[in-house]
Amino acid sequence: MVETKICGLSEPAGIAAALAGEARYLGFVFFPKSPRHVAPERAGALAVPARGRADTVAVTVDADDALLAAIQTALAPDWIQLHGDEPPARIAAVRRFARKGVIKALPIARAADFAEADRFAAADMLLFDAKAPPGARLPGGNGAAFDWRLLQGRRFARPWLLSGGLTAENLPEALRESGAGAVDVSSGVESAPGVKDPLRITAFLDAARTA
């Protein structure tokens, strides 16, 4: 069965749809430039129904220890996702703020970009996302995809998730071409930037279940 992460959640309706569809991970974004940004206290309140049902992921971009400590206090996340320019050495320092481990997001545009996976072998999981288009304000959640065929036949030292431009409609093709066993979606289940659509979340999780 394909594992699923619904990212950028900010309202109870989205949480309810993700849990009803048995999403494995719920992602909360802590990055003020993002339309999906939530304060730590808000994320902590939203995550209450998820306890014991799904893992929580705190998505950060070059966050300092003060922000990570605030997130830890309010949310106690299972995972910290690093989605910025964090160096490999940062992983060990960040791990203490998470209950389970660290996910490192890597931007992909061409085959050579996968070499970064070896540099971040200390991460507990990897996430392969499309490289942000020129001029983009966000490192992820841009609705862009990379060539999924680049993943064919590749093996990595850590579990990994496929991200970038996924929707309920293209998920079967993405899984078939990439061989992914876990996927991450954000903009693909929204009605507007930062506005999660419960029906689209349900459709995406149904597609993952039947793929």
Q: How, if at all, do strands 182-185 and 160-163 pair?
A: parallel
Residue 84 confidence (pLDDT): 93
Q: Two tokens at 36? A: 């999906």
> What's the predicted TM-score (pTM) here?
0.94
Residues annotated as part of the active site: 7, 129
Residue 75 CA to residue 18 CA, distance in Å, equals 18
Residue 131 confidence (pLDDT): 87
Residue 143 confidence (pLDDT): 72
Domains in the chain, CATH or no CATH each: 3-210 (3.20.20.70)
Residue 82 CA to residue 27 CA, distance in Å, equals 12
Residue 29 CA to residue 14 CA, distance in Å, equals 14
Q: What dihedral do alpha carbons 138, 161, 6, 85 form, nearest 10°?
A: -30
Residue 200 CA to residue 203 CA, distance in Å, equals 5
- pLDDT tens, residue order, the chain (211 aa): 899 999 999 999 999 999 999 999 999 999 999 999 999 999 999 999 999 999 999 999 999 999 999 999 999 999 999 999 999 999 999 999 999 999 999 999 999 999 999 999 999 999 999 987 655 565 655 577 999 999 999 999 999 999 999 999 999 999 999 999 999 999 999 999 999 999 999 999 999 999 8
Residue 157 is classified by DSSP as S
Bridge partners for 101 per DSSP: 79
